Chains A and B, each alone.
Chain A
Amino acid sequence: MLEGAVLLLALVGLGLSAACLDARLGGAQVGAPFGEVARLLVQQRRRTLLRDTLLLRIGVISLIVAPVLAGIVIPLGDAPVADLAVGIVWFNAMEVCVWGSLWLTGWAVNSVYPLAGAYRLVAQGLAYELPHMFALITVALGAGSLRMGDAVQAQQGLWFVVWMPIAFLIYLVSALAMAFWGPMSQPVGTDLAGGVRAELSGPDRLLFQAGRYALLVVAAAAAVPLFLGGGAGPVLPSWLWVLVKTAAVLGLLVWVRHRVPAIRMDRFTQASWLVLIPLSLVQLLVVGIVVL
C-alpha cells in the first residue's frame, strides 16, 4: 500500500510540475494548470448527441490506469512496487493499452474530429511501436534479463545510454509518441480542433489530461532504469537520483514540445520503417555482439 501511495504521489507531483513547466514555456502563468483543474471540477457536464458513455468512461479511465500500472515495474529507489521477472514486457504491454483508450474515447463521443484524431493515433502507433520495442529489447539483451532491477544492476559499470545511444534516442522519440505529446501530438492536434479530446468536458477531460501527463511521466521515468543507471550516483540517496534523472528527462520532453513542429504520420511512417527500424536493428546487433 505504501509503495503504491508513493508511486501515485510521485506521478501526481511530477505530472503537475510538468504541466506547470509547460505552461511557463508556453507563455502562460505558472499556476495555470491549477486553474484548469479548478475549472474542470466546477464545469457543467456535457454530453454530445447519442454518445456511448460506457465506452467513453472505459477509454478515459483506462488512459490513467494504464500508465500507473506501467509504473509499478519502475524502481523508485532500490525496488519497484512489483519487481516482475518480465517487467520490461509488462511496461510495454501497459503502455500499448493507450491505443485502445484513445480509440474508444475518440469513437464514443460521436463526433467527426475526435474520430479522425483516434484514426491518427493508430497510424502513429504503427509507426512508433516497433522501433520502441527494439529499443526495449536492446536493453533486455544488454542486461540478459527482462527484469527492470537486473537492467539497473547491469549498468553498475557503464550506463546503457553510453553504449546504446541510438536505442536511447529512439526510446525518447517513442516516448513522445506514446504520450502523444509535442511533435507527436497529432491525435490531439489543434488542426483537428483538439482531436480525440475535442468533446470532453469536466471530470472526463480532467482525467484525460491527467492520464496524458501520467503517461509522459512514466515514459520519462522508465528511461532512468533502462538507460540512465537507475538510482546510481554519488552522494545522494538512490531514490533522489531516480527523481532527479526522471525530472531531467521529463523536462527535456516538455521542452521539445515548444521547439519542434508536429510530425505527420503519412510522412513519418516511411522514415520510421526505413530509417528508425534499421537503425535500431543495427544497435541491437552491436549489443548482441558485445554480450556474446
Chain B
Amino acid sequence: MAPWAAVLGLVALLAVGVLAIYLVSLVISPRGTLGTGPFLSGTRPQEHALSRYHVRWYAVTLVFLAFDMEMVFMYPWALVVAEVGPVAVVEMFIFLGLLMVGVVYAWREGAFRWS
C-alpha cells in the first residue's frame, strides 16, 4: 500500500498547487471577469463555433482501432516471449503481418490522404 500512499500524497500536493494558482490569481488580479467574443482576427462571430463537421480521417480511426485492440494482446505477449519461445514470435508476426496487409489495403484505398 505504501506506493499508493505516496501517489495519493503527490496528487494532494498537485491539487494544492493548482488550487493555489487559481487562488493567487483570484486575489491579485483585477476583480471581475471580462466577457468577450471568440478571437476571430478582428471580426465578430456570425454563429456559434460548436458545429458538426466531417471527421475526414474517419478511415484512419478504424485502422487505428484494429491495431489498438492488437496492443491489448501485445503487452502480455511481451512478457512471455522468452518462456514460450519462437512460436510466440512467429504467431505474433503472422498476426501483425495480416494487419499490415490491411494497412496496405487502406493505403491503396486512400484512407491516409484526406486533404
Residues of A within 8 A of B (CB): 1, 3-5, 7-8, 40-50, 61, 64-65, 68-69, 72, 81-84, 86, 88-89, 107, 109-115, 119, 122-123, 126-127, 129-130, 133, 137, 140-141, 144-146, 193, 198-199, 202-203, 206-207, 265-266, 269-270, 273-274, 277-278, 281, 285, 288-289, 291-292
User: Do A266 and B115 form a contact, CB below 8 Å, given A82-B4, A110-B48, A112-B40?
Assistant: yes
CB pair A41–B29 under 8 Å, yes or no, is yes
CB pair A193–B41 under 8 Å, yes or no, is yes
B71 smallest CB distance to A (angstroms):
6
CB pair A193–B39 under 8 Å, yes or no, is yes
Separation of A7 and B60 alpha carbons in the complex (Å) = 37
CB pair B10–A141 under 8 Å, yes or no, is no
| Interface SS majority for chain B | helix
B residues near A281, Cβ cutoff 8 Å: 93, 96, 100
CB pair B6–A202 under 8 Å, yes or no, is no
User: Do A82 and B107 form a contact, CB below 8 Å, given A8-B10, A126-B61?
Assistant: no
24 A-B pairs whose Cβ atoms sit less than 8 Å apart in the complex: A1-B9, A4-B10, A5-B10, A41-B29, A45-B25, A45-B29, A46-B36, A48-B38, A49-B45, A64-B14, A81-B7, A82-B3, A83-B3, A111-B49, A112-B40, A130-B68, A137-B74, A141-B78, A144-B78, A199-B38, A270-B107, A273-B106, A288-B81, A292-B82
Separation of A84 and B28 alpha carbons in the complex (Å) = 41
A residues near B5, Cβ cutoff 8 Å: 1
A residues near B9, Cβ cutoff 8 Å: 1, 4-5
Max chain A CB contacts within 10 Å: which of B25, B33, B48, B85? B25
Separation of A7 and B67 alpha carbons in the complex (Å) = 33
In the complex formed, the residue of A with least CB distance to B17 is A8
B residues near A43, Cβ cutoff 8 Å: 25, 29
We find that the number of chain B residues with CB closer than 8 angstroms to chain A is 63
In the complex formed, the residue of A with least CB distance to B64 is A126
Q: Which of B38, B103, B115 contacts A277 (CB 8 A)?
A: B103
Separation of A130 and B38 alpha carbons in the complex (Å) = 35
Separation of A69 and B55 alpha carbons in the complex (Å) = 31
A residues near B45, Cβ cutoff 8 Å: 49, 112
CB pair B14–A110 under 8 Å, yes or no, is no
User: Do A5 and B3 form a contact, CB below 8 Å, given A41-B24, A269-B57?
Assistant: no
A residues near B60, Cβ cutoff 8 Å: 123, 126-127, 269, 273
A68 smallest CB distance to B (angstroms):
6
Separation of A198 and B7 alpha carbons in the complex (Å) = 33
Separation of A273 and B14 alpha carbons in the complex (Å) = 37
The 9 closest A-B pairs by CB, nearest first: A4-B10, A111-B38, A82-B3, A1-B9, A266-B115, A270-B112, A140-B78, A203-B25, A141-B78
Separation of A8 and B7 alpha carbons in the complex (Å) = 12
CB pair B85–A292 under 8 Å, yes or no, is yes
Separation of A48 and B45 alpha carbons in the complex (Å) = 11
